Amino acid sequence: MIAANAIQLTVVTPETTLLDEQAAVLRFPLEDGQIGILPGRAPMVGRLGIGELLVTTSKGSIRYFVDGGFVQVKGQSVTLLTNQAGKLDEFSVADIQKTFDEAIEREVKTPAEQAHKQHDIDRNRKLLELLKK
């Protein structure tokens, strides 16, 4: 049973359940801007953007990275469905910089490739920005 002033947070990716714990405050990007969630939030379904998921628990806060997907708030539980997620300190700046440079250099021919490239650029740019913070 969870306390009335806590959020049961679940982060699921297609491959695994990344996170399943209690939190006090959440902050993450929606498609059109940041959103903060406190316990007792009204039910909501939203589309996630690319960026940082900040989970504040009683022990401190942890930073994660999420890349698109959905969020569902229902009662005490908040579920984030995302294609890709990970702890922010597990990414290495050098690797991200490399994929970012590769994405910028990549030649595209079709609109689909262009969209893919743009997504890669946005994602890695955001990651770099967060890592350097």
Partner 1 sequence: MANARLIIKRLKAVKNIRKITRTMELIATARFKKAMDRASEAKAYTQKIAEIVGDLSAADLPFSHPLLQKRDNEERVLLLVLTSNRGLCGGYNSGVLRQANICLKDLEKSRMNLVLEVSGKRGISSFKFEGQKTDLEFTHFEDKPSFEEVDKVAKRYVDLYTSGAVDRIEVAYTEFQSVARQTAKVETLLPIQDLSTDDKQEQSLAVDYEFLPDAEAILEEIVPAAFKAKLFKCFLDAAVSEQVARMVAMKGATENADEMIGDLSTKYNRARQSQITSELSEIIGGAIALE
Interface positions, 14-43, toward partner 1 (CB under 8 A): 14-17, 30-32, 35, 42-43
Query: Closest by alpha carbon to 79, among 119, 19, 4, 126?
Result: 19
Out of 3, 38, 47, 61, the only residue in the binding site for partner 1 (CB under 8 A) is 47
What is the Rg, in whole angstroms, of the alpha carbon atoms belonging to the chain?
16
> Are the C-beta atoms of 67 and 49 separated by less than 8 Å?
no
Interface positions, 64-93, toward partner 1 (CB under 8 A): 68-70, 72, 74, 79, 81, 83-84
For residue 73, what are its two tokens? 């708030």
Interface positions, 89-128, toward partner 1 (CB under 8 A): 110, 112, 116
Q: Which amino acid is at 91?
A: F
Judged by beta carbon, residue 52 or residue 82, the one nearer partner 1 is 82
Task: Identify the DSSP state of 59.
Answer: T
Chain contacts with partner 1 (rule: CB under 8 A): 12-17, 30-32, 35, 42-47, 68-70, 72, 74, 79, 81, 83-84, 110, 112, 116
